[in-house]
Amino acid sequence: MNLHEMTAHELHELLQAKQISSAELTADIFSRIDAVEDKIGAYITLTRDKAVADAKAVDEKISRGEKIQPLEGIPCAVKDNICTKGIKTTCASKILENFVPPYDATAYGKLAAQNPVLVGKANLDEFAMGGSTENSGFHVTRNPHNLDCVPGGSSGGSAAAVAACEAVFALGSDTGGSIRQPASFCGVVGLKPTYGRVSRYGLVAYASSLDQIGPITRDVTDCALVLNAIAGRDEMDSTSTSADVPDFTKSLVADVKGLRIGLPKEYFVKGIDADVETAVRSAAKKFEQLGAQVTEISLPHTDYAISTYYLIAPAEAATNLERYDGVSYGARVDGADVVEMMTNTRTEKFGAEVKRRIMIGNYALSAGYYDAYYLKALKVRTLIQRDFVDAFKTVDLILAPTAPTAAFKIGEMVSDPLKMYLQDVCTVPLNLAGLPGISIPCGVTKDNLPIGFQLIGKALDEATILRAAYTYEQA
């Protein structure tokens, strides 16, 4: 097996045993990038010089006989809406094309403390608004399994980089499924932690009550290792939880005997691809064979999740994106006065999808419509949260499709926003409820495209979803 195809935990063993060097591994990853990146387009910025220097420093540490941390010397990618000090962070937007943050996001800072090798910043839908990585201000990312298909979004670059072996693991962000859906489309593992489990400080805000940073990896073990590195309380983020962070690798036990798993009937609706439904139901049967109890459950307000999400998220986005006005930082397009300068800047530098969501959000928040739309959406959000609370009285985990289809063709939905938004039907309820979820590969379609299912857990119970995911993966 080539080094670039291996998992982080396998590579860690080889590095520790001095069977390979981090410099050798990093060179191998960049050779892979040189071979396939023109076709895939996973990255916005490559950090080659920094990567070479960081790999050399890890090798010197190993040569001194020092023990290395689990992710030390392992090449990784970081989604380009996560701030990296001294390295461009563009959010795939022309408005931040040349923005270099003066500080690190907390999650990246915690990861950097483990001394992985940062290979580059990964492409995304502009400001994380999209489900296909076609809305990037720079270029479309392609699915490594079929170059005519999307990799999912908004963390499409992160998922494609891992799937195409252009990085061993990556960080993404998930506002309405942006880690789990691309993980499913690209045939890798993606975990959205509980809201507050990982600091949002330095994650460029899309919808602040929904955003969460998480790992995209080759297997469940790597997922646990990365979550160990980035989780924990942060004084810089008032929404981060002070709950203890367990060692998630201790959850990697192949045993689901007695675990109660619910299959929500609302997630197997008309319109779901037949191959996807078959693969997900087969995964449920596998859990039964492994000793879990699988029962059908109901999450009755699921039908309202998309409408609720696409009022709350754009409303928060409209507020968060007010800061891009051509004054403090980012791009500026001149005008005759301040108002014209701001208008010109936002008109020219924001993409179509970002403008669409700003307009939806401002409409929902405007006088006369606030109660009818935004306030009502907040009330329905509470009902969706209660559905999960009630379900978890009888089950330990919920199993569902990650997306209703496998990866679709590039250009297929980009002109039909409503059709694109409906792709989020299985992922947005978790963000509205603030719960953790993991997407695991569970088969392929007749066209050989990956299919994923997600396991949804109680708040702060990443340990159980990792245990169940690991058991399925090992089986």
CB 5 within 8 A of CB 165: yes
Check 93, 178, 199, 439 and give the catalytic one: 178
Q: How far apart are CA 84 and CA 78, in angstroms?
A: 9
β-pair partners for 226: none
- Catalytic-residue membership of 63: no
- Catalytic-residue membership of 178: yes
Which tokens is 146 given? 């079929």
User: How many other C-beta atoms can be found within 10 angstroms of the C-beta atom of residue 28?
Assistant: 18
Distance (Å) of CA 79 to CA 117, 141, 216, 254, 298: 14, 13, 10, 31, 35
Residue 162 is inside which H or E element, if any? Answer: helix 156-163
Question: What residues have CB less than 8 Å from 344, skipping those under 6 apart?
Answer: 326, 333, 334, 335
- Catalytic-residue membership of 376: no
CB 455 within 8 A of CB 445: no
Check 21, 93, 154, 240 and give the catalytic one: 154
Check 21, 22, 79, 132 and give the catalytic one: 79
Distance (Å) of CA 39 to CA 131, 155, 206, 301, 450: 20, 18, 29, 41, 19
Rounded to the nearest 5 degrees, what angle is found at the Cα of 209, between the Cα atoms of 174 and 227? 45
Task: Give 387-413 as a DSSP string.
Answer: HHHHHTTT-SEEEEESSSSSPPBTTSS
Active-site residue set? 79, 154, 178
